[in-house]
Amino acid sequence: MGNGLTKKAFIFCSAFFVLSFISSCGYMLQTKADLPFESISVGKIENKTHEPKIQDKMNKILTETLMQYGFRVSPAARYRIDVDITRFDLNVLSEIGLTAAEYQVLITGEFKLTDIEKGTSTPLMSLNSPFVTYFNTLGRLVNVIAQKEMATESALKDLSQELARRIIYDMPGKLQAGAGK
């Protein structure tokens, strides 16, 4: 009889521990109802760097990311995101036998959210600290260029995700308070 009670107590304690852990882990499910608004447009993306076509990549990746987070991307939306890509650097970090082996991609930008109806703009984020990715390659130049493109897209994806998070979690209070007037 004591053995059966011990098993029940163990199961109860285990279930209590698991439920307590899950409910206090800090994660929260986000739904479309949690979004500060349902649709958004991607406005002008200005490339202030010497990196060709980065504005086109940013437009595509930002649009995809916003849709993944639940926003409807529409040119007729009340809110518009404008982007200035202010810095793009490709740095060599290490060499092997006078050949570059490890690279770093740095991207910075400034973002603002414009309320078309009110004619107001709110800065979303200004990235003084860059989004950084790294890649290694010792192959031919074509391999370096391919790796650079993948690293650039990765940095732009990280940047777009941070932007979407800031819209979802930081903007509701600013929109209600009428910030940016």
In this prediction, what percent of the chain has a pLDDT beyond 70? 76
What are the pLDDT digits (tens) for 4-55? 667 777 776 676 666 555 555 554 445 555 678 889 999 999 999 999 999 9
Measure the CA–CA gap between 164 and 110, rounded to whole angstroms.
Answer: 14
What are the pLDDT digits (tens) for 154-179? 999 999 999 998 888 877 655 554 44
| Residues 92 and 103 sit within 8 Å (Cβ to Cβ) | yes
Question: 67 vs 29, 53, 71, 127, CA distance in Å?
Answer: 17, 22, 5, 22
Q: Which CATH class is domain 31-177?
A: alpha beta
Question: Helix crossing, 141-177 with 54-68: angle to 10°?
Answer: 50
Measure the CA–CA gap between 22 and 25, rounded to whole angstroms.
Answer: 6
